[in-house]
Amino acid sequence: FNTSPSSSCVQVSQYACQRRTPLQDINQIFTDAFEILAENCEFLGNKELCKSFLRASAVLKSLRFPIATMKDLDGLPLLGNEMKTIIEEILEDGKCARVLDVINGERYKSFKLFTSIFGVGLKTSEKWFRMGFRTLEEIKNNPEFKFTKMQKYGFLHYEDITSYISKSEALEIYDFVRDIILKLVPDAVVTLTGGFRRGKERGHDVDIIITCPRKEKEKSILHNTITILKNQGLILFYDINESTFVETKLPSKKVDALDHFQKCFIIFKLVKEGVGATNIKDNEMESKNWKAVRVDFVITPYKQYAYALLGWTGSRQFERDLRRYATNEKKMMLDNHGLFDKTKNVFLDAYTEEDIFEHLGLEYLEPWDRNA
């Protein structure tokens, strides 16, 4: 079949939930640029422009052809003059001055560094930046600082946590955890979600979602699982957030609102079999035979599971567009807990992701086509 732009007569939707976005991004030279600019806007608190860059990037990610000339942009949504200027510059020079300015800028570099620490967000980064700090050493060695427990462990395992997790490492942890949970609750449903469910080969954490079809039986799973993992010495850090979910509450209007399910943010000790032994024999410095890996657990009631799974599978931009589509095109409210039809004034039940797409009048998209 023909993949040239001129042959595609089908209109590209402005919503990622109406486009297929596989992992392979043939317009990465442009989408990388837009994502750096978006991130810089986020660091500056410019939410609107951040959104525009991310939407433009997502449109390009869904294309089956590489942008080769400005003509290729004809008919594409969400690519205004500001976006086109950037694309044009990259087409001509292979780079964009505005992007280079950003990545060489003090603010962007500092925020990138600070937010890479587990437990440090925009607020803390802003504070440290204003105080004049620019490196991790300056912060780590400052006796004046009071760090949260999360940040302390973030510093302690910084190297491991900021290095990538492979799919095989993610699957190893997932299989291990699922076995423990199924011994506790044989009919529990344990699913690897997040980027790995979308087919990514590497990620920055392992997201695992857990439920049980028997009512309330999911409630004991998290604490019992953590106890077992702790007893095996496999938990370096954990932080449990108890559920604040209320079934009657309407879905959130904010596209980036966090959900209220019980969850746990973990630094897991992944022990690598056979590593370390040879070095000791050779009388070299003893190497560490384990790696600190970020793992997220989220536990949901069975009734909300499909919505939570859809929400935690991502990508973030895909989720934003799903919610925007529900609100603007369907007069419905969607979040990780459910879908509310404002016309009929009812919550719509769903037990699979397919059910949710159907409620929204959308063609079903597999997780690997949600890489917006």
Give the active site residues: 205, 207, 296
CB of 88: closest distance to ligand CTP in angstroms?
30
CB of 317: closest distance to ligand CTP in angstroms?
8
Of the candidates 341, 353, 347, the one whose C-alpha atom is nearest the C-alpha of residue 314 is: 353
Question: Which residue has the closest beta carbon to ligand CTP?
Answer: 314
Q: Return the residue matching tokens 């109406």.
A: 18
Q: Give the chain's length.
A: 372
E strand or H helix at 193: strand 189-193
- Token readout for 206 is 């392992």
One-letter amino acid of 316: R
Binding site partner of 311, from Mn ion, ligand CTP, none, Cβ cut-off 5-8 A by kind = ligand CTP
Q: Indicate the SS3 state at residue 200.
A: coil
Number of residues this chain uses to bind ligand CTP (CB under 6 A): 15
Binding site partner of 259, from Mn ion, ligand CTP, none, Cβ cut-off 5-8 A by kind = ligand CTP
Stretch that binds ligand CTP, among 8-16, 83-91, 213-221, 311-319 (CB under 6 A): 311-319
Residue 35 interacts with ligand CTP (CB under 6 A)?
no
Q: 35 or 207: whose CB is closer to Mn ion?
A: 207
Site pattern 325..354 for ligand CTP (x: CB under 6 A): -----------x------------------
Stretch that binds ligand CTP, among 12-20, 126-134, 200-208, 349-357 (CB under 6 A): 200-208
Which backbone phi and psi does 270 adopt, to 5 degrees? -90, 110
Q: Indicate the SS3 state at residue 324.
A: helix
d(CA 120, CA 148): 9
Count of H-run helices and E-run strands, the chain = 16, 10
d(CA 76, CA 220): 49
Q: Return the residue matching tokens 């949600």.
A: 370
Residue 5 interacts with ligand CTP (CB under 6 A)?
no
Intra-chain end-to-end CA distance of the chain, in Å: 24
Binding site partner of 251, from Mn ion, ligand CTP, none, Cβ cut-off 5-8 A by kind = none
Binding stretches for ligand CTP (CB under 6 A): 194-195, 203-205, 207, 258-259, 311-312, 314-316, 319, 336
Binding stretches for Mn ion (CB under 5 A): 194-195, 205, 207, 296
* Binding annotation: 205, 207, 296
